[in-house]
Amino acid sequence: MPLDRVTITDAARSLLDEIVADHGPVMFVQSGGCCDGSSPMCYKDGDYLIGSRDIKLGEVAGAPVWISESLFEIWRHSQMILDAGPGHGAGFSLDTGRGTCFLSRSRVFTDEEWAEIEAAEA
């Protein structure tokens, strides 16, 4: 089984469960810095138009996570960790105004993990 390019913390899973209970299925788009910095944006599934150059990193708790091709090239050797912490969310993201917001964290894959990913994507 290939290593996941995106994972979710317990804190983010709790916030996601709350949002899904309120809004139904959702999707995430990792912002590339426009408007809301590098916040992962949470939308109702289908409310954000995925572009032909967007890449699906994976899914967390059934929610697809998308990233632009150019940002993916920067993050290629890292695992995205979807987390949550104190804050107010940003823009049109469904975490806005809840007192807790989604955060992106990352860690660089080890050489062994990277070899596994390359083999799985070949």
Show the tokens assigned to 117: 């990913």
Residues pairing with 111 in the sheet: none
Q: Looking at residue 95, which CATH number applies to its domain?
A: 2.60.300
Sheet strands side by side (includes 100-108): 6-8, 78-86, 100-108
pLDDT at site 2: 64
Show the tokens assigned to 44: 């109702």
Residue of 83, 90, 89 lying closest to 104 (CA atoms): 83
**How far is 106 from 108, CA to CA, in rounded Å?**
7
Average pLDDT (81-109) is: 90
Residue type, 3: L
Asked if the structure places residue 51 within a domain, the reply is: yes
pLDDT at residue 36 greater than cutoff 80: no
Asked if the structure places residue 28 within a domain, the reply is: yes
Q: In terms of residue numbers, what domain contains 60?
A: 6-121
Asked if the structure places residue 57 within a domain, the reply is: yes
Asked if the structure places residue 45 within a domain, the reply is: yes
Average pLDDT (81-93) is: 87
Contact indicator for 79, 60 with CB cutoff of 8 Å: no
pLDDT at site 23: 96
pLDDT at site 115: 92
Percent of the chain scoring above 70 in pLDDT: 92
Asked if the structure places residue 107 within a domain, the reply is: yes
Asked if the structure places residue 101 within a domain, the reply is: yes
Question: What confidence category does residue 44 fall into, taking pLDDT thresholds of 50, 70 and 90?
Answer: very high
Show the tokens assigned to 94: 């469904």
pLDDT at site 33: 60
Task: Report pTM.
Answer: 0.90
Asked if the structure places residue 1 within a domain, the reply is: no
Asked if the structure places residue 30 within a domain, the reply is: yes
Split into its structural domains, the chain has a count of 1
Show the tokens assigned to 121: 């994507």
**How far is 41 from 31, CA to CA, in rounded Å?**
7
pLDDT at site 35: 53
